[in-house]
Each structure stands twice: as C-alpha cells, then as structure tokens.
Amino acid sequence: MKTWIGLLVFAVLGAAQTPEQLAHSREVFQKVCGACHPVERATAMRHTRAEWQDEIAKMVAMGAKGTDEEFAVTLDYLSAQFGRAPGRPAGGGGLLDGMGPSDKHVVDPVAAERGRTIWAAECIQCHGTQARGTDRGANLIRSELVLHDRYGSTIGPFLKKGHPTQSGKPSASFTEAQIQDLSHFIHERVNDTLRGSPIFHVHDVLVGNAEAGRAYFNGAGKCSTCHSPSGDLAHIASKYDPPTLQGRFINPRPMGGGRRGGRGGQGGAPQVTITVTTPAGETVTGRPVFLDDFDVALRDASGAYYAWKRVPGLKVVKNDPYVAHDELLTQYTDANMHDILAYLETLK
Amino acid sequence: MKRALLLFTCCAVFAADGGLDPARILHPTPDSWPIYHGDYSGRRYSTLAKINDKNVKSMTLAWVWRSGRVDGGLKGTPILTGGVLYYSAPDHAWAIDARTGRELWKFDWQSKGGIHIGNRGPAVDGNWMYFLTPDCNIVSLNIRDGSERWHKQNCDLDQFYYGSVAPVIIRNHVIAGVSGDDLDRPGYLSSYDPETGALQWRWYAVPQHKGEPGSDTWPNEDAMKHGGGMTWQVPTYDPDLNLLYVTTGNPQPVIAHANRAGDNLFTASVVALNPDTGKLAWYFQASPHDTHDWDATQVPVLIDGEFNGQPRKMLALAARNGYFFLLDRATGKNLVTSQYVPTNWAKGIAKNGEPIPDPAKMPQVAGAIVSPNQGGATNWPPPTFSPKTGLFYVSAVRAYSVYYIYDTDDNPQGWGGTDRGGANLGSSVEAIDYKTGKVRWSHQWESGGHSGLMSTAGNLVFAGDGAGNFVALNATTGEPLWHANLGASISNGPITYELDGTQYVVVTAGDTMWAFAML
C-alpha cells in the first residue's frame, strides 16, 4: 500500500506537465530507450530519480543513443511516471513485463500475504523461508511445476494428490482459495529473484575507513584540487544515501557514463563545453549539441547554434570538468572507493 | 547417404528457382549472402572489391526499406539468395527485393510473450526460411510467399526462455540456440529436421547429471542442472573437421555465485560439437566461474592461416571479458591469449590460456570496481577477419562499473546483484594481429558506439559509430574514408553482394534497411 502512495505522489508530480508535454516526453523516451529494447522493460520497474539516473548511465555505457536534452527528458519522464520515493520498495512485484508468457501469473500482494500464513504453518520447515528449499524439501523457485502454474492450476492438483504438511493436515483438504493464496505467495518468491524486484537493491556499502578516505581525498586522489568538504561538498551526505553517494563520486556526470555533457545548468552541475577554432581563427565556446568523427555542433551561452564539418585545420578542444573522475576509475582500489565513501559520509 | 543425395537433388532444383542450395553456403557466390556470417567461418569477409579504399568516397544511396514499428528494432542479418533478401525481427519476417528494396511479402507471428529485445535474422535452406520467435518457437516459411509450413517449440516460455538467435543450416540440420537468463535454467542447442521440424538432438551447455563431462566443476547436481550457459550466438562450422563451434553464455545465478563454486563448465566457453550428434569434441573456457554476466557468446571466427611458420586451422574469439583468444580448432589448444582492451578482473593466465579470475574483483556487497562493465569489452555484434590484412577487427568498449551482490543468501537465485554506474572511457574498432593478439591499430570513436563489422577485399572495414554514422574504414590503417548519418545506431554487421554488376552494401539502423552502391 505504501508503494502506491509513493507512486501517487510521483504521478501527481508527473501531472504538472501538460498532456502535450507528456506526449512529447513519452515520444522522446520511446525513441531513446525503444531503439534497443521494448520500452516495457523500463516501465515495469519503479525507481527513485537517482536510480533512474543510474539506469540511464548504465544504458549509455552500453550504447544508448540520444542528445543530452533527450536523456534529460527521459530521466524526468521515468522519474515522474515510473518513480518511487526513496526508502520505499520498488513496485510491480519485480516481474518485468517483457519476461515470460503474456498470460503469466500476476501476483496479488494481498493474497500472497494470506498465502504467507499458510506457508508458515504448513510448508516453511521443508521448503524454507524464501521457497528455495532445504535438506528436507525441494527448491520451488526452480520447480517447473511452479513455473507452469497459474493461480494454483498445477500446484492445486499436485496438493490434491497428497503431500506432507507441517501440521499433518491432509494437503488435499486445502480449499481452492487457500491454494490460490499459496500460489500467489510462491510466485511472489519467484519474482523476488528477478531484476528490479523489491529485494533487488544495494546493501551496506559503508565498510571503509573515514580517516584513510580523508588522506586519499587530500593526497593521492587529488580530490581537494577541485572539491572542499566545507564548500561544494558541505552536507553532501545529507543529500544522498550511501549507495547513491558512491555512484556520484565514481561518476558525477549528470547523465552518468559516456562522453556526454550533461543537462544545461540543472542543479548547478558543472558543464562540459567545447571550444571550436575555425581555420580562419574564429573561436566559439559552448555546450556540445553533437560531436562525432566528422561533424561538430554547439550552442553558445546565448543559445545560438553553430555547426562545422571537421575539416583539417578546424580545432576542437573539450573542456571536461569530469575527466579527473574518469582517470581515477583506472586508479582506485576498491579500498580507496570504500574509504572515500566513509569519509564523505562524515560530511552530514 | 540416400537422404543426402535426395536433398542435393531437390535443392539443385530449388536453386534454379531462386531457393538456396545448401552447398552454396560452402562456397558463397558474390550474388548471395547465404548464411548469417556470410559463410560458415564467421569471418564476415567479402571477396568483392568493386567498392574499395580508392573509390568508396563516391558510394551513394541505392535504396531504403522501412519496417514500420517493430519491438526490439532491426538487429538481424538478412539472407540473400535469388536476388531476394530474407529478413526477420521479433514476430516478423519479410522478403525484400535486393536490387530495389521493395517489399515482396511480410509474415506476422501472433506472439504469446517473451522478451522482444531483438532477432539476429533467419536461415534459408532450399525454398524454406527458418527463424525464432520471442515466444520460443522455431518457424519455417515458404520463401515464395511467406506462408507458414510448420512451427515447433524450441523452448519453454514459462521458464522465461526466449528466441532471438539466427538458426544455422548444416546439411539436413537446422541448428538453433536459446536465450534468457532471468531464471536459473540450463542453456542448450537443438538440431531440427528441416522438412518436419522434428528434434534430432539437443546438447546441454551444463551437465544434467553427475558424472557427465564437466560435472566435477559444479558443487552439486541442482547447481549444474540450473547453471545457465545460453546459446545466444550463431555457431560457426568447419566442414572438413565436421565440427560446429558454439559459444555459451554466463552461468546462473548470474552475479551472486555462492551456490556454484567451481569453474561451471561449459558456461562462458567455446565448445566444438559434432553437428550430426551434438556430441562434445573439445572446449575452451573464456571466463571460468564468470560472475559478471560476460558470457562468451561472441562469434567464434575460423581462420585458415599461418601460425609460427606453419599452416594451421584456427579459431579466434574476442570475448566480452576483454580477452582475445586464438585456438587450434581441431583440438581446442590455446595458441594466444591477450587483452584487446585493458581489464582488471583477472590475476593472471593459467597454463591452458584461460584467465584466472581475481576473487577480489568478483561482485561484492559493498561493491567492486570492475572493467569491463556488464556491457562488456565487446558484445554480440559480429567482428570480422580479413585474410587479406591478417587482421581481426572488433568493436571494443573500455568501461568501468561497480559490481554489487544484492542477494546475500547462501543459496542465491536468478541474478542476485548487478553492476551500477561507472563510466565509458571510450569506444573503438580494434584491429588485432591474430598471430600475436597485439592491437595493430585502434580507431577511437569520438562519439562512442559499438556495432557489427564487415571487411572486404576492397581494403575496407564497415562499421557504425555512436552518432548513427555508417563508416567505411581503411582496413590497413583504420582511417575513416566514407560515412553517412543514418539517424539511428547500427548494431548488426553489414553485408555486401553483387547483382547485375553492381556491388551493394546493406546495413540496418533503427527501423530502416539501407543499401549503398556506386551508381
């Protein structure tokens, strides 16, 4: 239920857009994400804005294509329409829409809760808390009988034939309703093992040494060249949970990995710019609109658009404030990463 | 023998009628692209040279064909025979005139579900086409009108398997793999009778019973029976050795690995099978005990060439884990192991040429910084080998991410973790000298990107960059010689053919197939 309240809040946020804006956002999202996979793979998930940012960064690293603006629109759209509040579990039962058959079992969480009671009374000792089996009973997550089941269609007949229970109650005496509840509970356990499920999240990442982190920050990492614990990083640990904070210093680009410039001015994030000097000696600096082996285009501070073919003599210089973080990726030990996080966590 | 003779007779007739005589796969003619890889070797190299490094600058648009909206986009390689391109995408198949791009017929499959992430294309044998559907069917169509002849179940949708790979035809075998790594299920490869669709044999990538080869690399029967190893790549084949080369996917559970101690054979491996029986001849494991979803389902490319002054039959694999392997393809013996991009996950190379995973770089609860990331140093898009330059070309990515264990249970299931964040430090085409594994040249893309490749006798390598450009590179130097912005990214490898004296280069991007030529 809490999940739905969380979703409602985000739905309301999403409603701030006009229907035309929303349609445009959806179109952009479909273009950017639908180029590689069915969009339902994304919309089946519920993530916080930071998690969606992570997801998009991952997709960019895997080859997702779009302009900075398109990625920004996609992030806004997914966060608003398919969001969840931090600290609340992901919705959707974890079952991504694209997986498995169209007529798959859809878990009713309320029925699954009723099934849990039956499970605890009759099944848990042999099949385990998560239905993954014990020395006394089979792993039901991997059971073909379970995977073929719909609302008790195979579990029911199996139990009717007779199966040991904890209480000694004859399994054939379960009512249809009880079998359905049990079926919902077991399918919910299967869904828990899928990517995007409510239990699919980062655990404790605070394992480092804050003092060692401080030393790295001021020493080998050269972080203090650009950052200050009382300046830009003041109270940073109050803004982000530890896993998000870890992701932020590993790659602080607004859109995560790749060679992208981030979104214009959002949250005061430093901008990637490029400076183009033409063969005639004219120099223009601005945010890259696109940059490939053959062409380059930018918008300057006034919003004016410039484009050039990359002919010999045309000089392109990238001014990338994040490049030090890229270099650090090749240098960090895992201990460095954990220590830096432990240190940043002291900056509440 | 009688059967083989019959088949030969029937297909010689079909060939005259525009169908595909399987013998032509052995010796492809310039007016055909008879199989996913162009030929059985997987080298995706064409002897055509009308379009070459001297004149490619003048190559121009010949035609376009648009598919309309297709879930998963166009990621397949067309098959060309009789002047017609046969093509497939999730739930759809088409015939397209290869000279003009005009659609001749379309077939729509009524889907019952499955992941619609992509389809690598069809296979054609005689007058029949074969392709896989996301909902686990293998479908045979009449190439004349697209009418269905039969369909058979290739996997169980309830177990979250799905179909994406292109089948391969070897004599009277239609050989097809399976996709899907969400639940802990075994990967396998199946061979079907082309006429009836009857199952001929099935090879499991992981042992199904204790005592079977490889079972000593798993802790127990439950772990190995459900141990993954999906067959998402199109196999290659050596007709002289009669060996089929198959690459296998990651073990299951994918990231959390507490319940599968050991090397987990034959996941993340290249294996040689007898295509008539499905029996294993040898294996080489690219990623023992993979914990990063890297699999080894890249194209196993067959190279006939010189090694240490002697002619040798070899197999080259640029694996997703960042390593290039050269093997003797008769025996599986490792000849070369090298990194084609820097990686940080192995602590050395074993005597048998396999990387030794560093336990510290396996996924951790608090995270481990790993390169490559989950996308890999390369992925499914095909590499190419040019016998003319002796170079093996592969699209490569240098990326880091942080791998986390989410499922801390001592009996994890499914994925149990993933990687997050990190950064892509650059994408490139790497040209590798197969004899040494050393990178001869590297063309870094300004815009990222990761596409399938094709090389030609015209000293060209065709590739796609991250900005939607289709690019011809000089195969000897890596210098870009020609490009066109197709407006969407290219994933699969291009093909080329010659009809009526014109050489065409065909590639798909987004929802469009593009043909270029010198007109």
Q: What is the domain partition of chain A in residue ranges? A: 2-94, 109-192, 210-344
How is the beta sheet containing B454-456 ordered, strand by strand?
B45-46, B454-456, B460-464, B469-474, B480-485
Lookup result for tokens 């003797």 = B328
Nearest neighbour of A195 by CB, restricted to B72, B408, B415: B415
Most confident of A8-22, A294-308, B3-17: A294-308
What mean pLDDT comes out for the span A227-236? 96
Phi and psi of B460, rounded to 5°? -125, 150
Q: Is the confidence at residue A93, as pLDDT, over 60?
A: no
pLDDT category of residue A11 using cuts at 50, 70 and 90: very low
Answer whether A130 touches B (CB < 8 Å): yes
Least confident of A71-75, A92-96, A141-145, A198-202: A92-96
β-partners of residue B443 are B429
Write out pLDDT tens, residues B151-180: 999 999 999 999 999 999 999 999 999 999
Instruction: Supply the pLDDT for residue A5.
Output: 34
Name which of A195, A205, A291 to mutate to probe chain B: the one with the most chain B Cβ atoms within 10 A of its Cβ: A195
> What angle do the packed helices A334-344 and A210-218 form, to 10 degrees?
100
User: Strands B92-97, B334-339: parallel, antiparallel or unpaired by DSSP?
Assistant: unpaired
Instruction: Supply the pLDDT for residue A49.
Output: 76
Q: Could A329 and B422 be called an inter-chain contact, meaning their C-beta atoms sit closer than 8 Å?
A: yes
pLDDT category of residue A19 using cuts at 50, 70 and 90: confident
Task: Fold for A109-192, please state it.
Answer: Cytochrome Bc1 Complex; Chain D, domain 2 (1.10.760)
Lookup result for tokens 């399918």 = A187
Instruction: Supply the pLDDT for residue A2.
Output: 35
Q: Which residues of A255-271 are buried (b: 16+ CB within 10 A; e: fewer)?
A: bbbbbbbbbeeeeebeb
For B3-59, strand residue ranges (E) read: 45-46
CA distance B496 to B284: 32
Instruction: Supply the pLDDT for residue A38.
Output: 66
Phi and psi of A191, rounded to 5°? -60, -30
Q: Is the confidence at residue A278, as pLDDT, over 90?
A: yes
pLDDT category of residue A96 using cuts at 50, 70 and 90: low
List of residues 6+ apart from A176 with CB closer than 8 A: A152, A156
Distance of alpha carbon A157 from its chain centroid, rounded? Answer: 40
Determine what percent of chain B is predicted with pLDDT higher than 90.
Answer: 92
| 3-state class (DSSP) for residue B150 | strand
Q: Give the other-Cβ count within 10 Å of A341's Cβ.
A: 25
Least confident of A163-177, A190-204, A287-301: A190-204
ipTM score for this prediction: 0.93
Q: To the nearest whole angstrom, how far is the Cα of A108 from the nearest Cα of chain B?
A: 19
Q: Is the confidence at residue A327, as pLDDT, over 60?
A: yes
CA distance A286 to A298: 6
Per-chain mean pLDDT for chain B: 95
CA distance A233 to A17: 32
Whole-prediction pTM value? Answer: 0.90
If one compares A257 and A214, the residue with the highest pLDDT of the two is: A214
Torsion angle, CA of A157/A160/A161/A166, rounded to 10 degrees?
120
Largest CA distance in chain B: 64
Q: Determine the residue of chain B that is closest to A333 in CA distance.
A: B369
Instruction: Supply the pLDDT for residue A16.
Output: 57
Distances (CA, A) of B99 to B81, B144, B469, B497, B517: 12, 17, 23, 10, 10
Distance of alpha carbon A285 from its chain centroid, rounded? Answer: 34
| 3-state class (DSSP) for residue A316 | strand
Q: Could A98 and B406 be called an inter-chain contact, meaning their C-beta atoms sit closer than 8 Å?
A: no
Q: Is the confidence at residue B7, as pLDDT, over 50?
A: no
Torsion angle, CA of A49/A51/A57/A58, rounded to 10 degrees?
-150
Nearest neighbour of B366 by CB, restricted to A201, A207, A258: A207
Q: Could A202 and B445 be called an inter-chain contact, meaning their C-beta atoms sit closer than 8 Å?
A: no
Q: To the nearest whole angstrom, how far is the Cα of B493 from the nearest Cα of chain A?
A: 16
Per-chain mean pLDDT for chain A: 85
Looking at residue A273, its amino acid is T
Please name the residues between 136 and 155 in chain A that touch chain B, using a CB distance below 8 Å: 139, 141-142, 144, 147-148
Instruction: Supply the pLDDT for residue A32.
Output: 84
| 3-state class (DSSP) for residue B441 | strand
Quick check: B76 and B121 in contact, CB under 8 A? yes
Write out pLDDT tens, residues B214-251: 999 999 999 999 999 999 999 999 999 999 999 999 99
HEC assignment per residue over B65-117: EECCCCCCCCCCCCEEECCEEEEEECCEEEEEECCCCCEEEEEECCCCECCCC
Q: Which residues of A233-250 are buried (b: 16+ CB within 10 A; e: fewer)?
A: beebbeebebbbbbbbbb
Domain boundaries, chain B: 2-517
Cβ contacts of A337 on chain B, cutoff 8 Å: 367, 369, 402
Phi and psi of A329, rounded to 5°? -55, -35
Largest CA distance in chain A: 91
Cβ contacts of B420 on chain A, cutoff 8 Å: 54, 58, 202, 243, 247
Q: Determine the residue of chain B that is closest to A148 in CA distance.
A: B158
Smallest CA-to-CA distance from B136 within B119, B123, B149, B127 is with: B119
Smallest CA-to-CA distance from B381 within B295, B476, B454 is with: B454
What mean pLDDT comes out for the span B76-97? 98
CA distance B47 to B31: 11
Q: Is the confidence at residue A268, as pLDDT, over 80?
A: no
Instruction: Supply the pLDDT for residue A35.
Output: 75
Cβ contacts of A195 on chain B, cutoff 8 Å: 182, 414-415, 418
3-state helix, strand, coil in chain B (%, to 5): 5, 40, 50
pLDDT category of residue B147 using cuts at 50, 70 and 90: very high
| 3-state class (DSSP) for residue B496 | strand
Quick check: A142 and B222 in contact, CB under 8 A? yes
Q: Give the other-Cβ count within 10 Å of A103's Cβ.
A: 11
If one compares B437 and A23, the residue with the highest pLDDT of the two is: B437
CB pairs under 8 A between A and B: 231
How is the beta sheet containing B512-517 ordered, strand by strand?
B60-66, B512-517, B502-509, B495-499
What mean pLDDT comes out for the span B320-329? 98
What mean pLDDT comes out for the span B390-414? 96
Q: Could B450 and A103 be called an inter-chain contact, meaning their C-beta atoms sit closer than 8 Å?
A: no
Q: Could you tell me which CATH number the domain at B2-517 has?
A: 2.140.10.10
pLDDT category of residue B5 using cuts at 50, 70 and 90: very low
Supply the DSSP symbol for B290: -
Q: Is the confidence at residue B18, as pLDDT, over 80?
A: no
Q: Is the confidence at residue A256, as pLDDT, over 80?
A: no
Write out pLDDT tens, residues B263-297: 999 999 999 999 999 999 999 999 999 999 999 99
Q: To the nearest whole angstrom, how far is the Cα of A345 from the nearest Cα of chain B?
A: 14
What mean pLDDT comes out for the span A149-177? 97
Q: To the nearest whole angstrom, how far is the Cα of A63 from the nearest Cα of chain B?
A: 6
User: Strands B45-46, B454-456: parallel, antiparallel or unpaired by DSSP?
Assistant: parallel
Write out pLDDT tens, residues B451-490: 999 999 999 999 999 999 999 999 999 999 999 999 998 9
